[in-house]
């Protein structure tokens, strides 16, 4: 009994603190697009003594859905999740990559049946296993008409590749119209390039969050995050708590966004 009492007390204090943070938030100050790099799954598994990183990836997938619910309940309109980079496709070992692919495919299917969320794959299909492409495509088609939270799953994603693909798309469309290079140079604008990104037509992220204490973008939304605010959380991905997210939102609300100024 004496051991459980402190834990019980901490639980009460935690819930009170979470409620206070929620009361302090003003809906008008919340970001409308949050991008999240849920990092630290492998370290989480290692710290708990698991022999395989797959346990961390599974815990991370569970946290992803929790995080999306937190965002949806607060009225945030768009969330982009960095789940599998194009570099991961070549840098991860065969067994771990296979397990991670299955976890992401299952996650996409689960999200496509949850609430009225719209699920979209952002990234390249090049190098992705066929089963994952099918799962992502089916999830997108199933939820295309949904009007709830817009969930971008960044899978097989690389920011540099995205910009290259956007430029190729612009050049191909320009060539199909029978226009010359001089006209193309005159037409190129940030707005035109933005329209041809994987996230074309969506607002850029207001806030980019990364877990595990790492402070880098890792080739994530290089173009879209040009004027984003950044927040880094020490907690490993599966350990992310609502209060961690609420603190990020509180911090975001206090910042003066300059948009290049």
Q: Residues forming the annotated binding site?
A: 39-44, 57, 85-87, 92, 210, 216-218, 229
The crossing angle, in degrees rounded to 10, of helices 54-74 and 94-112 is: 30
Which residue out of 7, 29, 39, 102 is catalytically annotated?
39
229 CB neighbour count, 10 Å cutoff: 17
Active site residue 165: no
Q: Which of 7, 72, 73, 88 is catalytic?
A: 88
Do residues 1 and 171 make contact, with C-beta atoms less than 8 angstroms apart? no
**152 carries an active-site annotation:** no
Binding site per annotation, positions for substrate = 40-44, 57, 85-87, 92, 210, 216-218
Give catalytic residue positions: 39, 88
């Amino acid at each position: 009994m004496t051991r459980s009492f402190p834990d019980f007390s901490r639980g009460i204090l935690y819930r009170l603190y979470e409620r206070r943070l929620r009361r302090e938030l003003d809906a008008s100050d919340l970001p409308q697009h949050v991008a999240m790099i849920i990092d630290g799954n492998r370290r989480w598994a290692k710290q708990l003594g698991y022999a395989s990183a797959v346990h961390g990836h599974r815990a991370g997938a569970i946290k992803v859905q929790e995080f999306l619910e937190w965002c949806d309940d607060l009225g945030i309109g768009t969330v982009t999740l960095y789940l599998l980079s194009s570099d991961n496709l070549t840098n991860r070992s065969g067994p771990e990559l296979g397990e991670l692919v299955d976890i992401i495919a299952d996650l996409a299917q689960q999200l496509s049946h949850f609430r009225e969320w719209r699920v979209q794959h952002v990234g390249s299909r090049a190098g992705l296993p066929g089963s994952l492409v099918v799962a992502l495509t089916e999830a997108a088609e199933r939820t295309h008409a949904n009007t709830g939270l817009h969930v971008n799953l960044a899978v097989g994603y690389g920011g540099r590749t995205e910009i290259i693909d956007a430029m190729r798309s612009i050049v191909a469309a320009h060539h199909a119209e029978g226009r010359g290079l001089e006209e193309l140079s005159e037409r190129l604008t940030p707005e035109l390039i933005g329209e041809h990104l994987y996230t074309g037509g969506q607002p850029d992220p207001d806030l980019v969050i990364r877990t595990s204490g790492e402070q880098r973008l890792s080739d994530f939304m290089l173009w879209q995050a040009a004027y984003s605010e950044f927040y880094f959380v020490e907690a490993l991905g599966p350990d992310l708590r609502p209060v961690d997210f609420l603190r990020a939102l509180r911090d975001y609300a206090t910042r003066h966004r300059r948009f290049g100024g």
